Structure 1
Amino acid sequence: MSAQFSSASVTADDLLVLLAVARSGRYTTAARQLGVTHTTVARRIEALELALGARAIVRGSSGWRLTPLGERAAAAAEGVEAALARLDGDDADVSGVIRLSATDGFSAFIAAPAMAALRRRHPGISLQIVAQTRQASPHRSGVDLEVVVGRPEVRRAQAFRLADYVLGLYASREYLAAAGEPRELADLDGAPLVYFIESMLQVDVLDDARHEVPAMVDAVTSTNVFVHVEATRAGAGFGLLPAFLADREPDLVRVLPELIGPRLPYWLVAPTDVYRLPLVTAYLDALRDRLEEVRPALLGTSGAQVTAT
């Protein structure tokens, strides 16, 4: 089929259905959000693809994703959505679903509490979090916002730096009592390390942080930072952990802070049109408030004084 189409044959309703499917990755979820049936969503997508003259979405391993033509149509749908939001006026209650991809630590310590605070003012807003540690995706179908570690290289999107956080080297008090506390880097030669799985690590700045302790030996490795924290608490070795998580654990002690403390940046990525949506604007304001509240914890200067809620 040809990808040429007349805009007169594409309806705003069909575009908005496509946008809901792209954000959720599921017909059933999109139907629930739109207040229609699964069959209606399928019929709308079929009608849109007929008008477009080609496929707008294809099934992927994690749900439906946009084709290049579908990305163009979704961008037009975001314009329709933004225009409708402006018609509602600034005083209208903000509602809708935001889908966020972010690291485990950011999701739990920053993203979720920010949404909890926002929902006290706008209970019609909800947040879906896909927790993962990766580079910014070149295809953002099914996701409104991405938070990644390290400066991303993106196209058809806008990125800006949110905040920095610090990694520190930690061990349990019990482990240090048995193994001794290191006094210099040489004391860590051959010592067990708890960190990410190197062969699966796709984030350069996290990989660079591992190079600060090159003579250590991997003991427990995982793609999940909360596994790092718990393994370190259990005495598996020294954990290279975010200070904002480790400092909250009274049985963990930071070692060699003057020598080991890489500072890493969080970046936010989203299509330009997404930033203009009222619900996204409201959530970004809540994120900024939360980041300001926990900034000392992110930089490892507040001890265990800042809680996660």
Structure 2
Amino acid sequence: MSSGTALPSADDLLVLLAVGRTGRFNTAADDLGVNHTTISRRIASLEKSLGGRVLVKAAGGWELTDLGRQALTAAERVEAAVHGLVAEPGRADHLKGVVRVSATDGFSAYIAAPAGALIRSRHPEVSVEIVAITRRASQHRSGLDIEIVVGKPQVHRAEALWLADYTLGLYGARSYLDEHGTPRQVGDLADHSLVYFIDSMLQVDELDLARRLTVSMRESVTSTNVFVHVEATRASAGIGLLPCFMADRHDDLVRVLPGQVEATLAYWLVARPESLRRPEVAAVVGAIRETVESQRDALAGQ
């Protein structure tokens, strides 16, 4: 930086921190209690003082440039210093803030939600927002701190951490199997209908590969939501290809062809390095891992 150039303002850096974490000016404005115009003005001021762009427009929001990531590191130090000034004596571990998590429907309900409750019991001023969606890892994760996806993701400027394997198996309702018979071999599946994802709307390659285990089956009730799969199977719509950790919770569902027709998939956690450096995000990641570990046998269908 040349002599005479204004140093970046701490306030401007903290605004960049909010935008970098949320990916959106409006959300950052709400978090900081200011308006959108103030956010734009602060970012422009920061870019002027640094002599370059700190943000670029991306799909769904804003992404940090290389200069922006350098500035964000400085912003995190400013934030840590401010928190250190106002921390209560003896409360060095005091955490607060909002952590936004995206995960599949089943993971959201049975892993992320209990992990969120665990966080609230330990850190009452940390809020966990859970967005339930089944998709590939986003290349532009605006507004999200943590993503949980199925299958190893190919991501840039982010870290991908394996969480656990889980098993998909075939299940039928007792009433359905009593009426239509229980398949005893793979060839028998051609006589049955499948409950699974809508093929044309499936965005996850690994879930599409799992469908190939049941190519002889005609489709019955299909949905983008795995809870619909479970309930349609319980209602005798057909045989469902279901996550074992969800289906095994229901006594009226019976596993069909175990060991012959099943798929092992993996949950992965994706987050930007700057998100993982936030203590509240790191705490949520730890709670998710703890919850996964407590349910590892159920996830594996054991």
- Helix, strand or coil: the match of 2:295? helix
Partner of 2:181: 180
Partner of 1:18: 16
Partner of 2:38: 40
**For residues 10 and 120 of structure 2, what CA distance do their matches in structure 1 show?**
29
**For residues 249 and 126 of structure 1, what CA distance do their matches in structure 2 show?**
31
Partner of 1:204: 205
Shift of the alpha carbon at 1:179? 0.9
Q: Which runs of structure 2 are paired with 1:1-309 in the superposition (5 Å)?
A: 8=6, 10-48=8-46, 56-58=55-57, 62=60, 64-66=61-63, 69=65, 72-74=67-69, 76-81=71-76, 84-85=79-80, 88=84, 91-301=92-302
Could you give the per-residue CA deviations for residues 27-74 of structure 1, whole angstroms, max 9, x where no partner exists?
A: 4432332233444334324434555655835485x5x333x63x7515
Alpha-carbon contact 1:65-1:142 (below 8 Å) kept: no
For this pair of structures, how many residues does the alignment match?
Answer: 292
Alpha-carbon contact 1:196-1:222 (below 8 Å) kept: yes
Identical-pair percentage: 53
Structure 1 runs of 4+ aligned residues shifted over 6 Å read none
**For residues 221 and 152 of structure 2, what CA distance do their matches in structure 1 show?**
27
Alpha-carbon contact 1:82-1:277 (below 8 Å) kept: no
Alpha-carbon contact 2:53-2:67 (below 8 Å) kept: no
Alpha-carbon contact 2:161-2:269 (below 8 Å) kept: yes
Over the aligned positions, Cα root-mean-square deviation in angstroms equals 2.6
Q: For structure 1, which segment, 95-104 or 78-87, has the greater mean C-alpha deviation from structure 2 after superposition?
A: 78-87
Q: Which consecutive unaligned segments of at least 5 residues does structure 1 have?
A: 1-5, 302-309
Alpha-carbon contact 1:79-1:273 (below 8 Å) kept: no
Alpha-carbon contact 2:58-2:140 (below 8 Å) kept: no
**For residues 248 and 12 of structure 1, what CA distance do their matches in structure 2 show?**
52
Q: TM-score, normalised by structure 1?
A: 0.84
Shift of the alpha carbon at 1:25? 4.9
Q: Which consecutive unaligned segments of at least 5 residues does structure 2 have?
A: none
- Helix, strand or coil: the match of 1:212? helix
**For residues 104 and 55 of structure 1, what CA distance do their matches in structure 2 show?**
35
- Helix, strand or coil: the match of 2:262? coil
**For residues 8 and 240 of structure 1, what CA distance do their matches in structure 2 show?**
61
- Helix, strand or coil: the match of 1:97? strand
For residue 279 of structure 2, what is the amino acid of its counterpart?
P
Alpha-carbon contact 2:167-2:243 (below 8 Å) kept: yes
Change (3 A) 1:43 1:257: same
For residue 259 of structure 1, what is the amino acid of its counterpart?
Q
For residue 120 of structure 2, what is the amino acid of its counterpart?
R
Change (3 A) 1:56 1:297: same
Shift of the alpha carbon at 1:83? 6.0
**For residues 7 and 284 of structure 1, what CA distance do their matches in structure 2 show?**
40
